[in-house]
């Protein structure tokens, strides 16, 4: 669907972000940044704080990769789940995954993906974020335990994957579905077109 005009690097090892970009016909190289996931602050966050945290982490990831590949455009992203002013990243272990899902069950939370697109040499950063609201059905303890035993929650913010087994928990999605998967594809495509990194096939 799109023709590459300039070299693009995805600063992420996430297979979900990889698959989303490939589904749109975007060609790119993958170079994980090595940047640690953000540590969730203690207490409740003020308005906009979670989005700023996600954007900051996305920029750190992009900058780390850009420094090693100065001739390419670099896209960094960071996704987090937020409920009641608290950030829920990837669970630290199975008990933490159970705890997170017990909190989210039967409630609505936000999924925020921060993005940063850096030009060659780290120039002209474009930074932003997308918010999607996700509602969960009520979850029984047996359902949570069974899902956690699959291992699927362990590498995902909020301890679930909407595109896989975790779909059974999701009652509603308000906003970008691909954002919940890990990358708001419409917004990313708009950015790549704007910066003339890609163009539509004729």
Catalytic residue among 36, 42, 78, 84: 78
> Is the pLDDT score of 45 beyond 80?
no
CA-nearest of 33, 27, 29, 38 to 4 is 27
Residue range 69-115, pLDDT digits in tens = 999 999 999 999 999 989 998 899 999 999 999 999 999 999 999 99
Note whether 123 and 67 are within 8 A (CB). Answer: no
User: What is the rounded average pLDDT of the residues 142-158?
Assistant: 96
pTM above the 0.75 mark?
yes
What pLDDT, on a 0 to 100 scale, did the predictor assign at position 75? 98
What pLDDT, on a 0 to 100 scale, did the predictor assign at position 93? 96
What pLDDT, on a 0 to 100 scale, did the predictor assign at position 47? 60
User: What is the rounded average pLDDT of the residues 122-139?
Assistant: 95
Fold of 2-200: Maf protein (3.90.950)
Note whether 74 and 65 are within 8 A (CB). Answer: yes
Residue range 22-44, pLDDT digits in tens = 999 999 999 998 877 655 555 56
Note whether 97 and 136 are within 8 A (CB). Answer: no
1 band by pLDDT with thresholds 50, 70 and 90: confident
Q: Is 190 a catalytic residue?
A: no
Residue 22: Cβ within 10 Å count: 11
Cα angle 80, 44, 145; round to 5: 55
What pLDDT, on a 0 to 100 scale, did the predictor assign at position 122? 87
CA-nearest of 166, 86, 75, 56 to 118 is 75
Q: CB-hemisphere CA count at 13 Å for 168?
A: 7
- Measure the CA–CA gap between 162 and 174, rounded to whole angstroms: 13
User: What is the rounded average pLDDT of the residues 155-174?
Assistant: 96
User: What is the rounded average pLDDT of the residues 144-152?
Assistant: 97
48 band by pLDDT with thresholds 50, 70 and 90: confident
Q: What dihedral do alpha carbons 150, 153, 154, 156 form, nearest 10°? A: 150
The SS3 assignment for 59 reads helix
> Is the pLDDT score of 165 beyond 70?
yes
Domain limits, the chain: 2-200
> Is the pLDDT score of 65 beyond 80?
yes
């Amino acid at each position: 669907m799109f023709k590459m005009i300039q070299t693009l690097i995805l600063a992420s090892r996430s297979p979900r972000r990889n698959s989303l970009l490939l589904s749109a016909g975007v060609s790119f190289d993958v170079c994980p940044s090595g940047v640690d996931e953000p540590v969730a602050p203690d207490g409740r966050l003020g308005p906009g704080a979670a989005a700023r945290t996600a954007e900051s982490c996305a920029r750190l990831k992009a900058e780390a990769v850009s420094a090693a590949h100065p001739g390419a455009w670099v896209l960094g992203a960071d996704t987090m789940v937020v409920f009641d002013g608290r950030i829920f990243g990837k669970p630290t272990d199975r008990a933490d995954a159970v705890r997170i899902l017990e909190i989210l069950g039967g409630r609505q939370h936000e999924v925020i993906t921060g993005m940063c697109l850096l030009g060659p040499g780290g120039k002209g950063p474009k930074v932003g974020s997308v918010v999607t609201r996700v509602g969960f059905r009520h979850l029984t303890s047996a359902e949570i335990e069974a899902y956690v035993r699959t291992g699927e929650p362990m590498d995902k913010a909020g301890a679930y994957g909407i595109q896989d087994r975790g779909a059974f928990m999701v009652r509603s999605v308000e906003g970008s579905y691909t954002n919940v998967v890990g990358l708001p594809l419409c917004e990313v495509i708009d950015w790549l077109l704007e910066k003339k990194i890609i163009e539509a096939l004729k």
